[in-house]
Amino acid sequence: MRIAIILGIATLLGAADLSSVIESPDATAILKKDALPAPKVFAMPQGCISEDPAVIARGKYIFHNLNGKDAKDPAPQGLVKILPDGKEKQFGNCVACHNIEGAKGYGNIGPDLTNYKGLFMESGARKHEFVYQKIADARVDNPTTHMTINLTNDLMNEREICDLASYIVLKK
């Protein structure tokens, strides 16, 4: 009743408060839920780096594909395109930012990873642990990195980080 009167007066004065009709949903909860956990240091699991062709095939597949819907080739053993809940599996899409042997349509936001073994591993510049941590959570060694975060936020699991690291450090 009182509200109706106030509204009536406001309209009469020609200065209606129009704020209530503006669509202005609350987004704070969405952003909070979507937030990235703090940077995390990970220990590389035992036997992580491998030359097993099955491991390399997975690493390569994750590196070059965006997600299960986008990927053209069938998924290698141990990976699926569609998850049990019906959503597509997200892969690394590393090629969006990195060149590497055989990359098609690669980006250049990140360093070129071609001949990584020769240039970075054999020279002693990089260790397996560094590569593992970089893919798991790149913020640990570069707080302002533009690189994606893959393990801290559960985009991938430990094994998939190992698959990727094994593929990158393999002589190709």
**Chain residues that interact with ligand HEC, rule: CB under 6 A:** 63, 92-94, 96-98, 109-111, 120, 126, 131, 134-135, 138, 142, 145-148, 150, 164, 168
Contact positions with other proteins (CB under 8 A) in 70-99: 90, 95-97
155: left (phi over 0), alpha (psi -120 to 50) or beta: alpha
Contact positions with other proteins (CB under 8 A) in 105-134: 105-109
Residues 2, 5, 35, 86: which binds other proteins (CB under 8 A)?
A: 35
- DSSP symbol at 147: S
Interaction mask 140-169, other proteins, x per CB under 8 A = ------x-xxx-xx-x--------------
CB of 101 vs other proteins, minimal distance in Å: 14
Take residue 74 and report the two structure tokens written for it: 């069938």
Take residue 103 and report the two structure tokens written for it: 């990359």
Please return the burial class of 160, using the count of CB atoms within 10 Å of its CB with bins 0-12, 13-18 and 19+. Answer: buried
Residue tagged 């987004």 (tokens) = 27
